[in-house]
Amino acid sequence: MSDQGSMLFSPLALGTLTLKNRIVALPVFTGYAHTDGSVSPLLLEHYHSLAASGPAMVVVANAAVSSEGRTAKGSLRIDQDRFIPGLHRLARVIQSSGALACLQLNHAGRYAISDTPMLPSPADSGHLAFELASLKHFMESFPFDKRFGLTRFLMNKARGWQRGMDDEDRNLVLTEFGAAALRAQQAGFDLVELHGSSGYLLTQYLSGFTNGLGPPLGGSPEMRASFPLAVLDAVMAHAPGLPVGWRLLLQEWVPEGIDFSEASAFAAKLDDRGVAYLSCTAGAYTSWFLPEIRKRMAKPAYLSPHLHTLTQSTRAPTVISGRVIGPMQAEKLLRSDVSDLIGLARPLLADPQWIAKARDVKDPVKACINCNTCIKRVILNQGVACVHWPSRKKEAIDLEVDMAARAMFKTLVLAANPRDLRRLKSVWQHTLPLRHYVDTTVAFLQHCPADSEYQAAMAEFQAWSMDTWQSMGLEPNDLRFTTLDAVHERQEPDSLALSLARSQDRGVIVLCRRKEEKWRERLLHRHKFGIAEVFGTHPGFNDILVPFDLSWASLLVLKTLDWAFHGKGGFSFTFAHVLEGPKQAALDRWAEVLDILGWDPDTPLELLSERPDVTGALLHLLEDRNLGRVIMGKRGRSGLARLFLGSVSRGMAQGLASRSLTLIS
């Protein structure tokens, strides 16, 4: 398709903004954010690639306006100012490709991962039969081994649907949406979009299926629209001049749910208030997996009849979505005045070259096959991926999402005496992770009555570390100090430290080696999901041995190195594998891993002769090369496997003497 005369590649005014073409990259929840809701490198990379593929506008999906309104662990957040710098980087990577950057604001309502979810009114028992039927079909779409855990999760969530929001809750949500819009404006986004679909909070107020309130907030469709319109007003008031779009649900396909006549009337109210655009969709979690709905949604451009009607009746530009499969179909929809803009969500996952191919009819588009793999993955907290993607790309995504889930950027540093503090000063800038070392708590452990020397050392270290932190260009508020009193709490030091790490979601624990204090080694092995790092006194901690055993755990170790040491000089790495099978199989796996990581294919792997004592082979290499540090994975073998095979990581911890050790679970 030539740009000449093509509506698909013609510009469109959007208020004071200009879209370079008629293609919008619709919001697709990725699950790629860090567990604290901040922007991750994977998220930046994803949206950079998406913007570079050529759309006029990229809508970043599902930024939670409240910590209690997140849809999943990998949700973006915009409820605090500390998220603005990361969101600014995200807006810039989108805009660098000439696309407008739009941030979708959302509160998940009853679908939030919260013990006290917000919802308009208690769940209606009259809809229970439909909910259960929908749940049955939802579960049947997942592998059998995932169904029990999902069922338990959803039933636990439904138990929280017993209390509706009061006026105080609603006022809080209004404030949260308004503050989030202002932060998006400060972060440099060109627009925001309010998420009024998929069954989230704004939809829950609009729908008779979930809104059982009476007047003035429920009853008639007009009354049910009151609170969503108040949210729009709050957003416009808090961020004047910022264009606001709306993700509009045209049909919900549930009993007493939103139908097209209600959606049209609500769209007219949005239009009167001056929304920038209406991005249309259909269905919700309670209907998407029903067989009859899946058949309806499998039809090409299944929303086009409703979109054509809506487009003729509103001033705001409309965006169509829903099985817009190919460029010729998109062009026809535009020329037939079905919509003003073409929205692409899963098609751009299935074929990132969709827009490039639209310029050249000789290159066929790889179509989305409507298998819902992408949706299922994010429901399972696996991060979005497409069946069309190469297996190595999917494995790389799995790896990145796994890394993001480990809160590697949040560190707990432990000290128990003046000697620890002196050692920590010497290794402060060598702790993991270096690249994302942005949020640290230093805990001064007191497991015996503190003496004056320790008190003075704590004060001196606190001042020194804050000065060093700021000299590294890091945010002062991201370095905190606390005291753990094992005497008063009557707990072992390792238990106290683990409790603190879990309460603050700290993925990295750093401490110093002291063999006579057994709690230190216990902590090293009890930290089950993250990184535990113990520093010894050997001076060569920049000369690092990295055992590689071909497993997923080892791949995770290498990705950790990629995160932590990228762009850093002064380190040398020895990668070693103790053979347990054919030499060529090990080399083939190594080549595959280097490809997944994007490393130099000539990166060497030392192959050590097969022997039953893997720990002994690694310790011998360590001594022979005088390496001062080991970074390795901890696979977590079962008790029976440990009995017969031993634990390599535990053996290394016991045999390292003065050397430093980093264990990655």
Q: What is the CATH number of the domain that holds 247?
A: 3.20.20.70
Residues 555, 503, single domain; the answer is no
111 inside domain: yes
pLDDT tens-digit series, residues 513-554:
887 888 888 888 888 777 888 888 888 888 999 998 887 778
Please count the structural domains in the chain: 3
Per-residue pLDDT averaged across 576-581, rounded?
Answer: 88
Residues 300, 175, single domain; the answer is yes
Distance, in Å, from the CA atom of 135 to the CA atom of 247, rounded to the nearest integer, reads 25
Q: 12-14 and 17-19: which strand pairing?
A: antiparallel
643 inside domain: yes
104 inside domain: yes
Residues 195, 256, single domain; the answer is yes
50 inside domain: yes
Q: E strands within 232-281?
A: 244-249, 278-281
152 inside domain: yes
Query: Residue 104 corresponds to which tokens in the numbers above?
Result: 């979708």
| Cβ contact 426:537 at 8 Å | no
Residues 40, 171, single domain; the answer is yes
Residues 633, 546, single domain; the answer is yes
Residue-level pLDDT at 430: 65
- Closest residue by Cα to residue 304 from 288, 318, 290, 284: 318
Which one has a higher pLDDT value, 215 or 635?
215
What residue numbers bound the domain in which 140 lies? 12-389
Domain CATH number, residue 604: 3.40.50.620
418 inside domain: yes
351 inside domain: yes
* Residues constituting the chain: 665
Q: Which of 37-51, 57-71, 318-332, 518-532 has the lowest mean pLDDT?
A: 518-532
Which one has a higher pLDDT value, 643 or 58?
58
Residues 189, 330, single domain; the answer is yes
For 196, list phi and psi in degrees, rounded to 5. -110, 35
Query: Residue 539 corresponds to which tokens in the numbers above?
Result: 């001076």
Residues 312, 455, single domain; the answer is no
Residue-level pLDDT at 507: 82
Mean model confidence pLDDT for the chain: 87
Of the three residues 535, 552, 572, the one that is the final residue of a domain is 535
pLDDT tens-digit series, residues 75-115:
999 999 999 999 999 999 999 999 999 999 999 999 999 88
Of the three residues 535, 560, 577, the one that is the final residue of a domain is 535
Of the three residues 535, 553, 581, the one that is the final residue of a domain is 535
Residues 500, 585, single domain; the answer is no
Residues 479, 560, single domain; the answer is no
Residues 263, 366, single domain; the answer is yes
| Cβ contact 661:627 at 8 Å | no
* DSSP helix/strand/coil, 138: helix
Residues 587, 442, single domain; the answer is no
528 inside domain: yes
Residues 163, 291, single domain; the answer is yes
Enter the pTM of the model: 0.81
| Per-residue pLDDT at 323 exceeds 50 | yes
